[in-house]
Every structure is written in C-alpha cells, then in structure tokens.
C-alpha cells in the first residue's frame, strides 16, 4: 500500500470517527449530472470526490470519496442545475449513513459505501448542462411522484404564476381589456378615426305625470359603456381595442410612462426561475437583510417603470427586481470606468423564485420576484481593506474583495458551511 493510500484511509477513518451515524428514512434523495445517468443505471452510485465536494473544502487533498444525499423524500438538494434526481431505498441499500458535517441543515447526509443499482430509482430526468432557470419542469414531473406537487408548491406561489400568465398573454388577450383600462380615450378614438357611434338610449319616466317618457343616454360615463360595447357592439369595441394597442406600441398615449401596461415593457416569453440565488442592488442592504423586502409593487400591471411610482404604490410590499447571478456581471454595471453599478452601492444575495423576462426599456434580463418569498438574505457591503465584504452576525468580515463577482461566488460556494454564522 503506497503512502497516498495510507493518508486517504487515515483521513477517511478520522471523518468516520467524528461524523455522527444516524438513522435515516426509508427513502433518501441524491442528485447527479444527467450525463452520468447510464453509468449509474449500470453500476449504481459509487463514492467519489466531485468538483463541488472539492471546492467546498477549498481543494483540500486526500478527501475520502463519498456519496451525498438528502434525508428527505420530498426535497432534493438544489444544485441550481437541472440535475437528475435519484431515490435511494435505504432498506435495500444497506449502507451506513452519517451527518454531512460540512452542511448544518439536519438533512444533508453522506455514505462512504457504494449503492447497488437495485436500490435506486430515477425519479426525475434532468437536462445536461441546462440551468434550471430555463427549465419549465424542474424537480419531479408533475405526476411522477405523489410528493411532486408539494415540491413544486414549495418554491412557486400564485404571485409568480399570475405574473407569468400576464406577461405571456397573446396579442388578442392584451387588447381585450384595454378599453376598460383606458376608457377615457373613447372620445379621442371616435374623433381621430372618424368612427360613427351613437350612444345607446333608454326611456325613463318623466318627473311629471302629464309629460311623456323621455329618451336619455343609457350611460353617463364611459366606464359602464365599455361593458355594454363588449357585449353588444363588438365591432366598435374591437376597433377601440386596436386603436389603444397601436397607441401603446408606438408610445403615443398622452399618459405618464408608468401608466403604460407592464406587458408593453417586457417580452412575451417569461420563464419561471425556481428557488435560485439572486442578486439585488440597493443602498440599504443591511436593512433588507434584517427586515426583508418590506417595499414593493403589488400591482403587476404597474411593473413596467417602477422608478416613477411613488411611495404609496410600494409601501405595502410586493414585486421587486433582481438579476440571476449569471446575468449581473454583464448588465448591472452603470459606469464601467468608475466601477459603479446602476441600482445601488450595496447588494443583497438571496434565494427566491420569480419570473425572468427581458425589459425592452432597460435592455437587460430581469428577475421579478415577490419580496416576502426571499430567504437566506445576505448583505454585501463595504469592506475594511476591499470594496466589497461579507460580514458575520457579529459584524466581523468573513470574506472581502474588490471584485463583486468573486465575493458572490465565494458566498454561494461556502454558504452551507457558514450559514449559521450569517
């Protein structure tokens, strides 16, 4: 036996000694790169030292090979990639499990023993090299396991579903409600287009007994008129809809930019982002980390240009904006020569689900999330010797660097190890 093997076995024995053997449930979950699927189906799961494992321990040599799993039959580890999910029947596997001392969440477990193909089942097929933000069917297929809807609902709320459906409406669906929203331009429509229209009439009893009934306009304002047109005169209603749609597309309505419907600012291909690390720029990072996203826009139709909205529109909380970690290096910088970002001098990095969509005005991809769903909020503020720093709950610097990308990368790689300190 060579020296390298002796060292490896020594480290393995040490880790076995200081790890805590535990009793696990009948089923645990393991995630793996889909490219390994055929090998796993043939050979089962084999202990190994993968890239993430090595990075977690800063590239330390002589790490013992292990198999990672989650002691939870509903929630697999979120690697942020569209990985395969394997269900391990621990009764058949017959291996010894230990707490993963590197992740203090009560669910992360490891084994040092191989697991046979007969004790595993592929319960979700991921997509090789595909980030889950582009995947419309993350985690389990909807009806594959009885727990799948629970997993889906844990990360996606009605707020995300409503916004996705709103932004992805067809042209006809967008046009259908415009006359109700902008009913006060009906007279302008009639004048500009030369449309002939006669207000519907109704007869009403006279106030005097000796006078006949009088004929009057059925509606005193255009609000109720729009409902009548929608049900009784589709030709005029549809013409008014088309008139408003063209005005909006050409930015010709005499209203403030913030009053334009939000869908006019975004593309019509929104994508669900499920429980991702996101980054939000601000001047109040510590306050957000302490109190959460207290402010936000709760009316999704007003999300097109929120910078023009007042405090009243944001004081009750609601939707906010962020970037995917893969997008902010390219799009968030406001002044490259001075190293300044567009939306604030500080940032918070956090987990949340949302809708990724392209904003035409800002010319960038944005993730719109509902503020009260953000978790694991970590502020990144000024350092002592560097521009950006992460502090622990006692105010001491855990990591700092002049490059924000490096600080964010360090945080996401080491969060599980240091989470109890934040």
Helix axes 234-249, 186-193, angle to 10 degrees: 90
Residues 227, 223: Cα–Cα separation, whole Å: 7
Of 54, 89, 55, 39, residue with least CA distance to 69? 89
Per-residue pLDDT of the chain (422 residues; tens, 9 = 90+): 444 454 455 445 445 444 567 888 888 999 988 888 888 998 899 888 765 555 445 445 567 888 989 888 777 776 667 788 899 999 889 898 988 765 555 688 889 899 998 899 988 888 765 444 333 333 333 333 333 344 344 567 888 888 998 999 999 999 999 999 999 999 999 999 999 999 998 887 776 666 777 788 888 889 999 999 999 999 999 999 999 999 999 999 999 998 999 999 999 899 988 889 999 999 999 999 999 999 999 889 999 988 888 888 888 889 999 999 999 999 998 765 556 788 899 999 999 999 999 999 999 999 999 999 999 999 999 999 999 999 998 899 999 999 999 999 999 998 888 888 88
The phi and psi torsions of 242 (rounded to 5 degrees) equal: -65, -40
Of 416, 411, 414, residue with least CA distance to 104? 416
Residues in contact with 398: Cβ distance below 8 Å, sequence separation at least 6, in sequence order: 389, 390, 391, 392, 418, 421
Q: What is the pLDDT of residue 147?
A: 39
Residues in contact with 421: Cβ distance below 8 Å, sequence separation at least 6, in sequence order: 392, 393, 398
Q: What is the pLDDT of residue 339?
A: 61
Structure tokens at 28: 């645990």
Q: Are 303 and 365 in contact (CB under 8 A)?
A: no
Residues 379, 282: Cα–Cα separation, whole Å: 10
Residues 34, 358: Cα–Cα separation, whole Å: 29
The phi and psi torsions of 121 (rounded to 5 degrees) equal: -140, 130
Residues 104, 106: Cα–Cα separation, whole Å: 6
């Amino acid at each position: 036996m060579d020296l390298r093997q002796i060292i490896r076995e020594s480290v393995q024995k040490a880790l076995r000694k200081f790890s805590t053997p535990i009793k696990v449930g009948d089923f645990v979950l393991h995630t793996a790169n889909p490219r390994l699927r055929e090998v796993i189906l043939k050979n089962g799961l084999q202990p190994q030292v993968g890239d993430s494992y090595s990075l977690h321990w800063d590239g330390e040599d002589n790490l013992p090979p292990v198999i990672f799993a989650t002691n939870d039959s509903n929630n697999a580890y979120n690697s942020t990639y569209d990985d395969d999910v394997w269900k391990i029947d621990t009764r058949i596997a017959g291996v010894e499990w230990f707490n993963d001392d590197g992740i203090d969440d009560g669910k992360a477990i490891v084994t040092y023993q191989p697991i046979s193909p007969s004790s595993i089942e592929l319960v979700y097929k991921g997509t090789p090299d595909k980030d889950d933000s582009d995947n419309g069917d993350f985690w389990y297929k909807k009806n594959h396991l009885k727990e799948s809807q629970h997993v889906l609902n844990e990360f996606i709320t009605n707020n995300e579903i409503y916004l996705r459906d709103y932004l992805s409406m067809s042209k006809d669906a967008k046009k259908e409600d415009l006359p109700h929203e902008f009913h006060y331009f009906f007279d302008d429509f009639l004048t500009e287009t030369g449309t002939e229209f006669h207000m519907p009439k109704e007869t009403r009893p006279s106030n005097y007994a000796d006078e006949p009934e009088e004929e009057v306009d059925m509606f005193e304002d255009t609000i109720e008129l729009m409902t009548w047109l929608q049900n009784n005169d589709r030709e005029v209603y549809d013409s008014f809809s088309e008139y408003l749609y063209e005005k909006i597309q050409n930015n010709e309505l005499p209203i403030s930019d913030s009053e334009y419907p939000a869908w006019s600012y975004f593309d019509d291909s929104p994508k669900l982002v499920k429980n991702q690390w996101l980054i939000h720029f601000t001047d109040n990072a510590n306050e957000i980390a302490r109190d959460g996203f207290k402010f936000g826009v709760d009316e999704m139709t007003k999300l097109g240009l929120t910078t023009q909205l007042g405090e009243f529109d944001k004081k009750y909380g609601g939707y906010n904006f962020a970037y995917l970690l893969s997008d902010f290096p390219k799009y968030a910088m406001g002044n490259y020569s001075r190293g300044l970002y567009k939306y604030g001098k500080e940032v918070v990095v956090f987990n949340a689900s949302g809708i990724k969509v392209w904003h035409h005005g800002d010319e960038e991809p944005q993730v719109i999330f509902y503020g009260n769903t953000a978790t694991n909020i970590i502020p990144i503020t000024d350092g002592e010797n560097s521009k950006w720093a992460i502090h622990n709950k006692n105010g001491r610097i855990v990591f700092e660097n002049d490059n924000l990308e490096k600080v964010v990368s360090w945080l996401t790689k080491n969060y599980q190890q240091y989470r109890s300190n934040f």
